[in-house]
Amino acid sequence: MADIVSSLLGKLSESDLSEPLKEASRGFTSLIEDSAYVGEVYSLGYDEALVQIHDFHRQRVGGIPALSFLIATRVSPSSLTDVRKEDASIVLLRVLDKANLPNADEALRVRVETAQRVSGEVERHWDDRAIMDPTTHNLLSYAGVRCRVLGTYYMVNTGPDDAPVFRLIFGSDLSNYYPNRGLKVFKPRGRVLEAIVNYRDPRLAVSAHNGHVPVGQVRYASSHRPFQGIDGVPVQITPTDLLGQKTALFGMTRTGKSNTTKIVLKSIFALRWGQNPVRIGQIVLDPNGEYTPRG
């Protein structure tokens, strides 16, 4: 009964939203996919968040690689929300490492004892249902993940009050948090991941200029497998974002650092022929001769 009343109240509140607010809500909730749900934030601070994830959801989204993005929110992807409210936000997280749940020691003891039962039996694993009962198996399938808080997405009206225009804004911090308020956690994939990695602040003049340059595709690890759900997600840069800034490029050998640098240099030089031509001087210190013309 409570769920029915809550649903009816939600429908009533949706009817009170203006068309610009409804459009803003649809754009905002498009960043959240039901099928990409992975778990719950059980501890939140200004710098870190601890997330509880079940093996079932971890497997369904293709795994949770280290350094991958997660998003946490109270916004429901299946209903409209008033984007002006405090809860209408999406917290961007980056996976750092595992985090022990309160029952970690007990869970470890049970796993060790169960593994001892199948020791020497090549055909059976200790997590087989014939070895571990379903209730224990389910409880021990939960694990914690420690994440860094990268920032917050929210909607802001950038137009006049009589003709509002809501745009997606990203703040590189967390303005507030409530320790006893749950957040659902999702793994961004496909178009959602593309929207995150290629986000540009619409309030800046740079973003209004169509100067995006593709530099590659998202990869979280060398073991890049199709079931992870991030194939073909392009990454772009805006060359003007690099001007007057300190920029570093890191990567393992043979992963494309030199080629990426060439693309960046070329894209900055190409600003001379854009809609608003800008002449930028460049000095390349090249001790290894990687950028020296050969002919």
Helix (H) / strand (E) containing 60: helix 55-60
The rounded distance, in Å, linking the Cα atoms of 220 and 208 is: 29
Beta bridge partners of 49: 44, 147
pTM of the model: 0.78
Helix (H) / strand (E) containing 53: strand 48-54
Q: Which amino acid is located at 270 in the chain?
A: A
pLDDT digits (tens, 9 = 90+) for 16-29: 788 989 999 999 99
CA separation (Å) from 159 to 88, 167, 209?
A: 19, 9, 19
Tell whether the model's pLDDT for residue 151 goes beyond 80: yes
pLDDT digits (tens, 9 = 90+) for 95-139: 999 999 999 999 999 999 999 999 999 999 999 988 999 999 999
Token look-up 């905002």 returns 28
- The CB density around residue 124, as the number of other CB atoms within 10 Å, is 12
Token look-up 């970690």 returns 104
Q: Averaged over 207-235, what is the pLDDT?
A: 73
- Choose the most confident range, by mean pLDDT, from 31-35, 164-168, 254-258: 31-35
Higher pLDDT, 227 or 173: 173
Tell whether the model's pLDDT for residue 40 goes beyond 80: yes
CA separation (Å) from 204 to 92, 157, 176?
A: 21, 15, 25
pLDDT at 294: 64
pLDDT at 3: 52
Do the Cβ atoms of 61 and 189 come closer than 8 Å? yes
Q: Which amino acid is located at 241 in the chain?
A: D
Do the Cβ atoms of 280 and 248 come closer than 8 Å? no
pLDDT digits (tens, 9 = 90+) for 42-55: 999 999 999 999 99
Pairing of strands 183-186, 213-217: unpaired
Of 168, 143, 150, 147, whose CA–CA distance to 158 is shortest?
A: 168
Percent of the chain with pLDDT over 70: 90
The rounded distance, in Å, linking the Cα atoms of 68 and 185 is: 13
pLDDT digits (tens, 9 = 90+) for 264-293: 888 888 777 767 777 777 788 888 777 776
Do the Cβ atoms of 146 and 1 come closer than 8 Å? no
pLDDT at 208: 42
pLDDT at 219: 80
Which of 30-34, 92-96, 111-115, 160-164 comes out lowest in average pLDDT? 160-164
Question: Is residue 62 left, alpha or beta, with left meaning phi > 0 and alpha meaning psi from -120 to 50?
Answer: left
Do the Cβ atoms of 240 and 265 come closer than 8 Å? no
